[in-house]
Amino acid sequence: MFIRNPLKGMSRQAMGLLAAAGVLAAFSAPAIAEGWKPEKRVEIVLGVSASEGLNRNARLILDWLVKDGTIPPSSVVVNKPGGGHALALTYTASQVGSGETIQLVNTPLITNNLLGRSPITYKDFTPIALLYDETVVFSVPSKSSIKTAQDLIDRLKQDPSSVVFSTATGLGTVQHIATLALAKGVGVDIKGGKLKTVNFSNGNAEAITAALGGRIDVVVSSPQPVLPFVQSGDLRPIAVASRERAGGFLADVPTWKEYGIDSVIYAWRAIVAPKGLTPEQIKFWDDTFAALVKTPAWEEEVKKSDLNPRYLNSADTAKFFENENKRYADIYGGLGLDVAKQQ
Amino acid sequence: MDGADLFLHGLTVALQPHNLGYIVVGCLLGTVVGILPGLGPSAGMALLIPIVFGMDPTSALMMIAAIYYGAMYGGSATSILLNTPGEASSVMTTLDGYQMARNGRAGAALAVSAIGSFIAGTVGIVLLSALSRPLAQFALQFGPPEYFTLMVFSMLSAASLGGRTVARGLLSMLIGLVIATVGIDLQSGMPRFTGGFPQLLDGVDFILAAVGLFALSEVFVSLEDHFRNPAQLIGIKGRLWLTREEWRRSVGPIIRGTAIGFVKGVLPGGGATVSTMLSYSLERALSKDKAKFGTGMIEGVAGPEAANNSSAAGSMVPLLALGLPGSGATAVLLGAFVILGIQPGPLLINQHPEVFWGLVNSMYVGNVVLFVMNLPLIFLFVQLLRIPTGILFPLVIAIASIGVYAVNGSVFDLYIVFGFGLLGYAFRKLDVPTAPLVLALVLGGMMEQSFRQSMTISGGDLSIFVSSGLAILFLVLSVLALAAALVVPSLLKARGGRVFVEEAADV
């Protein structure tokens, strides 16, 4: 459909050569095969269970790449949930030199290590691509006395402990950081224990339940989980932690920047591979995703899911990770969350 | 189209041949998932999601939902026959179900499970289709403080399962609470007691504890018995089916179990498992023969088995009416919706009536399918009891290992199960009951989180736990449960009335 891999024929030729040259020649294969292509089944590793949103993206990527003939039909998505992507990252990092293993991962790639949860860092992987990011949106129940972003700012200034935030599934998540940054921008003493942020294990569903039941004042989340409740009129998005206004149903929702508050953060999704890949293997995956993000099917899915397209190639993703790692370390330090250093 | 039209339209959707086929396949898979220890409905559904990716959403959801309620039927079989809970909500069934089997009443226990499941499932779905909107609004009243007080009540109810002495029961429960603290702490984000094992970051899954403590320790203990004096096989005494007397004793528990299960299903937290605990405790409290619980009382099988089925139907209420799952299994179902491209929410009924009504009606159909399917299975399952020990025990270990391994593909989980097996063996030798540990493991994590969520919301003010009618209700019930457990027996003793010897209740 979209990728007509020019190296496909070459690869077969190379294989033929290899077969003819025998086993010994195989060890010098990289010199011959300038085009590499996975011949074994590809594993797309995922750190969440099959029931989570990220899984849909992984399945779609698998579907598209298999239909196109880019990867063998026996390829699979491997779900290794646990420890906030930690188990899956450990697994992928251990597949050193395997061109047939890639992982779809999000911010825990960087935050797990900074928060002292895992010794594995982004440096243990070969960056392949940055795919997209998600807006962090602040929503309130419609019957709340907080109607606008300004109302929330005023309430926080008046009495920060009168507002209860839900910040998804844990400390140090992008939702949590966005909330802390908002509070800091308003002038709340975030280390003083005045700010109330609650975490829920089932993430957004429990948080929305608690908000509709009046226990939570502000739900901080990605756009998709709140969309049905915004459509039904139960929740109202009041602000986004973005550089500029988001699209879709959030088009009219102001950014915190518009109120002079420096709360800008995105939840991104990237593809990484193990260390020790040959340049040909890296080039294969780099080309594959460069082509994938240009397909209409991809663009449609990104639009439908309220994601922001943000493609970066392998080299740029490497720089991006480095910058993000530094930025998060600074943010955690500034917010009093520099746990890794404390240990 | 008005309500009745939509309902009938949904029924025709569910009865279309291809959908009927998917329902039957889902029911079969659900039964298998229920039977395999370790592999519960959540994991079973999650395993199937990749396969249905790209299918027609209505058919796919019918099949996945069938796994959920199908597992509720299947879970009882291994609990009764092998003392191995097939899934979490069958833990309570092992207490009296396995003893019934040892008394030669395996057929009756299986039959009452199937009948109770069918009645409860069907009543649950009727309530689901009639009252989902108002019930879902009620569920919204349930925030962290209500959640916490409910957990306190459940925990105190479970304390009555203590066994020989209160101290032994508490010891077991405390060990369970300690194990429940392992993993990433939700509120601070920090790993606790993981010993550097990334596999422990999400804590210890209580189903691993249940399989180890119940199934493996049973194998170990029986093995020892076998070497000391080769055991005779457990036969079947009397008729395979229920006697009139057994049926008479089961009606009340089934009705009460259905009610408890459905209400608990609608409310978030703990899902079917907590409802079975409450049902069992209630039946024990109402019974005149409290001491006989744990020795093969059919009430202790009928109530919980009804409760877990109506709970499955009840938990569909907040999911379908609001798009808000209240339990682990419905969270997986929500994931299935999302992956199939449907975002469930308050508008699901309006935006996708065919999905909503098709799914609800498929549950009626599925319940009939399961009932019809399970009756002949009883005759097949009781044959398991004829398998000689030398073959049966390796079989139990193999089946348990497959079930546990299938969930995460993790060998580490198998080590944990084995560890719990040894612990369970030690417990039995020391006469410490194992059930409180498992129940504390189920409740402990949720109890701690909801307590700390409440504390964050209130800024450390404990009065939040008496800030709503529901929370007060659960606290009052907790006090009553405690009073019933402590005061009533001593009152009876003081009056010189009939006192049941608690020791007899011990397994």
As a whole number, mean pLDDT of residues A128-157 equals 94
Structure tokens at B284: 């024990």
CB contact at 8 A, B78 and B84: yes
pLDDT digits (tens, 9 = 90+) for B435-475: 788 888 878 888 888 898 999 898 889 999 998 888 999 89
**Chain A to chain B, count of Cβ pairs less than 8 Å apart?**
152
pLDDT digits (tens, 9 = 90+) for A91-122: 999 999 999 999 999 888 998 888 877 888 99
Beta bridge partners of A268: A133
pLDDT for B426 beyond 70:
yes
Of chain B, the percentage scoring pLDDT greater than 70 comes to 90
Q: What per-residue confidence (pLDDT) applies to B489?
A: 59
List all residues of chain B from 32 to 91 with a beta carbon under 8 Å from chain A: 45-47, 49-50, 53-54
**Contacts with A58 from chain B: Cβ below 8 Å:** none
Q: What per-residue confidence (pLDDT) applies to B503?
A: 38
Q: What per-residue confidence (pLDDT) applies to B137?
A: 80
CB contact under 8 A, A59 and B50: yes
Q: How far is CA A232 from the centre of its chain?
A: 27
Distance in angstroms (rounded) separating the CA atoms of residues B184 and A117: 9
Structure tokens at B172: 């077991």
Nearest 5°: the CA angle A64, A70, A74 is 80
As a whole number, mean pLDDT of residues A284-297 equals 94
pLDDT for B387 beyond 90:
no
CA–CA min distance A19, chain B (Å): 35
Token pair 């008005």: residue? B2
Beta bridge partners of A103: A45, A272
Distance in angstroms (rounded) separating the CA atoms of residues B256 and B186: 35
Distances (CA, A) of B480 to B222, B475, B476, B485, B486: 39, 9, 6, 8, 10
Query: Would you list the DSSP string of A296-307?
Result: HHHHHHHHHTTE
pLDDT digits (tens, 9 = 90+) for B116-146: 999 999 999 999 888 877 887 887 888 889 8
Residue in B199, B335, B347 nearest the CB of A87: B199
Token pair 């404990």: residue? B462
Best CA proximity match to B306, nearest among B332, B278, B284 = B278
Beta bridge partners of A105: A270
- Cα Rg of chain B (Å, integer): 22
Q: What per-residue confidence (pLDDT) applies to B162?
A: 53
pLDDT digits (tens, 9 = 90+) for B242-266: 888 999 999 999 999 999 999 888 8
- Phi, psi angles (nearest 5°) of residue A92: -60, -45
Of chain B, the percentage scoring pLDDT greater than 90 comes to 25
**Contacts with B67 from chain A: Cβ below 8 Å:** none
Q: What per-residue confidence (pLDDT) applies to B504?
A: 37
As a whole number, mean pLDDT of residues B49-54 equals 79
- Phi, psi angles (nearest 5°) of residue B505: -75, -15
For the CA atoms of A147, B323, A47, B445, the dihedral, rounded to the nearest 10 degrees, stands at: 90
Q: What per-residue confidence (pLDDT) applies to B454?
A: 92
Best CA proximity match to B28, nearest among B377, B495, B449 = B377
Of chain A, the percentage scoring pLDDT greater than 90 comes to 51
**Contacts with A51 from chain B: Cβ below 8 Å:** 45-46, 49, 331-336, 339
Q: B422 CB contacts (<8 Å, ≥6 apart)?
A: B216, B217, B220
ipTM of the complex: 0.77
CB contact under 8 A, A53 and B335: yes
pLDDT digits (tens, 9 = 90+) for A296-322: 999 998 888 888 999 999 999 999 999
Closest residue, chain B, to A226 (C-alpha):
B345
Which band of pLDDT confidence, cut at 50, 70 and 90, is reported for residue B490?
low
Beta-carbon count within 10 A of A41 CB: 13
pLDDT digits (tens, 9 = 90+) for B140-168: 888 889 889 988 888 877 666 555 567 78
**Contacts with A115 from chain B: Cβ below 8 Å:** 189
Per DSSP, the three-state class of A3 is coil
As a whole number, mean pLDDT of residues B400-422 equals 87
Q: What per-residue confidence (pLDDT) applies to A30?
A: 42
CB contact under 8 A, A205 and B324: yes
Q: Is B343 left (phi over 0), alpha (psi -120 to 50) or beta?
A: beta
Closest residue, chain B, to A197 (C-alpha):
B456
Beta bridge partners of A270: A105, A130
Q: What per-residue confidence (pLDDT) applies to B161?
A: 58
Give the start-end residues of each E strand in chain A: 43-46, 76-79, 101-106, 125-134, 137-141, 164-166, 196-198, 218-221, 235-240, 267-274, 307-312
pLDDT digits (tens, 9 = 90+) for B332-382: 888 888 778 787 778 788 788 888 888 999 999 999 999 998 888 888 887
Closest residue, chain B, to A210 (C-alpha):
B143
Higher pLDDT, A217 or B295: A217
Q: What per-residue confidence (pLDDT) applies to A202?
A: 64
Best CA proximity match to A122, nearest among A314, A277, A318 = A318
Q: What per-residue confidence (pLDDT) applies to B151?
A: 85
The verdict on B232 touching A (C-beta cutoff 8 Å) is no
Reported residue count of chain B is 507
Average pLDDT value over all residues in chain B: 83
CA–CA min distance A28, chain B (Å): 36
List all residues of chain B from 283 to 322 with a beta carbon under 8 Å from chain A: 318, 322
CA–CA min distance A290, chain B (Å): 24
- How would you write B216-279 as a 3-class SS string? HHHHHHHHHHHHHCCCCCCCCCCCCCCCHHHHHHHHHHHHHHHHHHHHHHHCCCCHHHHHHHHH
Structure tokens at B153: 């009540």
CB contact under 8 A, A228 and B323: yes
The number of C-alpha atoms within 13 Å of B296 and in the hemisphere containing its C-beta is 15
Nearest 5°: the CA angle B13, B19, B24 is 130
The sign of the torsion formed by the CA atoms of A314, A113, B456, A191 equals negative
Q: What per-residue confidence (pLDDT) applies to A293?
A: 93
CB contact at 8 A, A197 and A161: no
CB contact at 8 A, A327 and A112: no
As a whole number, mean pLDDT of residues A130-139 equals 94
Q: What per-residue confidence (pLDDT) applies to B2?
A: 60
Distance in angstroms (rounded) separating the CA atoms of residues B440 and B446: 10
Beta-carbon count within 10 A of B217 CB: 23
Higher pLDDT, A29 or A328: A328
CB contact under 8 A, B339 and A56: yes
- State which of A12-16, A233-237, B222-226 shows the largest mean pLDDT: A233-237
Token pair 């979490």: residue? B88
Best mutation site among A206, A222, A226 for testing chain B: the one with the most B CBs within 10 Å? A206
pLDDT digits (tens, 9 = 90+) for A10-45: 444 444 444 444 444 344 344 444 588 898 899 999
- Reading across the β-sheet that carries A101-106, which strands appear in turn? A76-79, A43-46, A101-106, A267-274, A125-134, A307-312
Beta bridge partners of A106: A269
Distance in angstroms (rounded) separating the CA atoms of residues B329 and B49: 13
